[in-house]
Amino acid sequence: MRKSVGSIGVAVLFMGVLFFCGGESFAADACVTKDCHPQMGKAAFVHGPVGVAQCTVCHIEAKKGHPTKKGPDFKLVATGKALCEKCHQPVDKFEFKHTPVKKGECIGCHDPHQAAAPKMLKKVKTAELCYVCHKNTQQVKKFLHGPVATGDCNVCHNPHSSPNPMQLTAKGNDSCFLCHEDRKAEFTRKYPHKPALESCLKCHDAHNSDHPFMLSAEGTAQCLECHKKMAERFQAATVKHTALLKGPCTTCHTPHSSSFPRQMKTHTKDICYTCHKDMGAKVKASKKQHGPVQQNDCYACHDPHGSNNPLVLKKYFPSEFYKPYATENYALCFDCHNKDIALDKITTKLTNFRNGDVNQHFLHVNKEKGRSCKACHEVHAGDQEKHIRKEVPFGKAWMLPVQYTKTANGGTCVVGCHKPKTYDRVSPVKYD
């Protein structure tokens, strides 16, 4: 091996590369000249052996001096990854390998001599290097994932090999939590959203999207891709919940997990009162609450998405104040209450609203000009016993007053529709 030595020649061993300090190496006076490789070693990032002018770390020296005109006869001391692994640790030890690594083609991504980019990469921006082989479908949509926007593919993917599919730096959702650590608690509450536990990619695109939050589809459409039965019901509903018409499902539900059933953001009625403010104020100010309201169960009567009944009620209830009585007209109420309550004029069992054995429910509603349950009862909340209304709309001009007093065996009504009357189950009151 040719070398020229200055006044002091000191042999130094560093990282398995032999080079000489105080004198010129073979590369300095043979490989790098004004005629051959004049720019070698002048880039921003230089491979170690090149930086210390030791070409023979990788190349075998020509036996007969300078290369011929036919081309260089400097052969490599080894080929493919075997050459690189003479100095570098193997990078293909995991199951999922990058194709160039699998083929042993390190120079598919790295320049073996020098480069303008760190790690001897052939492109300054990582993404540009990836797109030499991979089609760019990751930076073409409206919203870009942060690492994608900056071209840092290696934030999520290991460029060599990984124990995880797609060469992810961590397994499944843990890969996302490497950055989104502040969102991790959203996946640990009592009621998890199943797709969120399985994979963030069930709903989000990891690279780019035309929708906010990197969603695969827009708002409600994203949810309905899985909740197909809900989609069918919503489309068929003649009365749709306004919240769904105006906003996405996440107006009421959390997409990852929740401390409340059905992945609600908070207690059901509190969510409802976010929009139904007047109803919320009335319920909170009332002394008595209807059972479902008290139990935080708006779903008992209303379908939160849509139905074929007014007020998105689950079952039919007449909107008319007066309507000929039929049990099926009050199917909603009779889901909980005795459906036979107003069928018999004389009874001692069907209802406690009796004057002796005379059924006062039958007397009031079971007639041609029947009355809705709402004619006497509050359906959400009020201040009187038995949820008796304080006043009833009568026409457009008058609020008909109702004052009810409960007694041990009955009660007294002072109302605007007839003179005060009392009923008693044990000692019936006689009227003309």
Q: Is 49 inside a domain boundary?
A: yes
Collapsed DSSP state (helix, strand, coil) of residue 147: helix
Answer yes or no: is 83 within a domain.
no
Q: What's the whole-number average pLDDT of the chain?
A: 88
Give the pLDDT confidence of 198-218 residue by residue, as tens digits: 999 999 999 999 999 999 999
Give the Å distances, CA to CA, from 410 to 311, 346, 351, 427. 33, 16, 11, 10
Q: pLDDT-derived band of residue 84, with 50, 70 and 90 as boundaries?
A: very high
Which element (helix H / strand E) includes 422?
strand 421-424
Q: Which residue has tokens 């996405």?
A: 248
Residue 385 CA to residue 279 CA, distance in Å, equals 19
- pLDDT band at residue 2 under the 50/70/90 scheme: very low
pLDDT of 66 reads 55
Rounded to an integer, what distance in angstroms lies between the CA atom of residue 234 and that of residue 83? Answer: 64
pLDDT on residue 29? 61
Residue found under tokens 């004004």: 34
- CA nearest 360: which of 418, 287, 293? 418
Q: What is the pLDDT of residues 251-273, one digit of tens each?
A: 999 999 999 999 999 998 899 99
Average pLDDT over residues 220-238: 92
State the Cα–Cα distance between residues 192 and 259, nearest whole angstrom. Answer: 9
Distances in Å between the Cα of 190 and the Cα atoms of 251, 256, 259, 264 are 20, 11, 5, 11
Between helix 277-285 and helix 268-275 the angle, nearest 10°, is: 130
In this structure, what token pair is assigned to residue 312? 């998105």
Is pLDDT at 183 greater than 80 in this prediction?
Answer: yes
Helix (H, G, I), strand (E, B) or coil at 330: helix
How far apart are the C-alpha atoms of 46 and 302, rounded to whole Å?
71
Note the pLDDT of residue 20: 32
In this predicted model, what pLDDT tens digit does every residue of 28-46 receive, in sequence order?
A: 567 888 888 889 999 999 9
Band (432; pLDDT cuts 50, 70, 90)? confident
Kindly state whether residue 340 falls inside one of the protein's structural domains.
no
* pLDDT, tens only, 302-324: 999 999 999 999 999 998 888 89
Query: In this structure, is residue 317 part of a structural domain?
Result: no
Which pLDDT score, from 0 to 100, does residue 17 have? Answer: 35
Please state the pTM of the whole predicted model. Answer: 0.77
Domain membership flag for residue 307 = no
Longest CA span, the chain: 137
Amino acid 138: pLDDT: 95
249 within 8 A of 181, measured Cβ to Cβ: no
| Rounded CA separation 411/355 (Å) | 10
Alpha carbon distance 170, 151 (integer Å): 19
Measure the CA–CA gap between 188 and 38, rounded to whole angstroms.
Answer: 61
Structural domain includes residue 178: no
For residue 194, the model assigns a pLDDT of 95
pLDDT band for position 135 (50/70/90)?
A: very high
pLDDT at 262: 92
Determine, yes or no, domain membership for 23. yes
Structural domain includes residue 84: no
- Residue 76 pLDDT exceeds 80: yes
Predicted local distance difference test score (pLDDT) of residue 356: 96
pLDDT value, residue 70:
55
Q: Cα-atom radius of gyration of the chain, to the nearest Å? A: 41
Residue 297 above 80 pLDDT? yes
- Mean pLDDT of the 99-103 span: 95
- On the question of pLDDT at 338 being above 60, the answer is yes
Task: Look up the domain containing 36 and give its range.
Answer: 4-77
Res 114 pLDDT > 60: yes
Overall domain count for the chain: 1
pLDDT in tens, 366-424: 999 899 999 899 999 999 999 999 998 887 888 989 999 999 999 999 998 889 999 99
DSSP string, 149-215: HTT-GGGTB-SSEESSGGGBSSSTHHHHHTT-GGGGGGGSSSEE-HHHHH-GGGTB-SSEESSGGGB
What percent of the chain stands above pLDDT 90? 76
- DSSP letter at 258 equals E
* More confident site: 1 or 288: 288
Q: For residue 340, what are its two tokens?
A: 């036979």
Report pLDDT for 300. Answer: 93
CA distance 35 to 14: 30
Does 65 score more than 90 pLDDT?
Answer: no
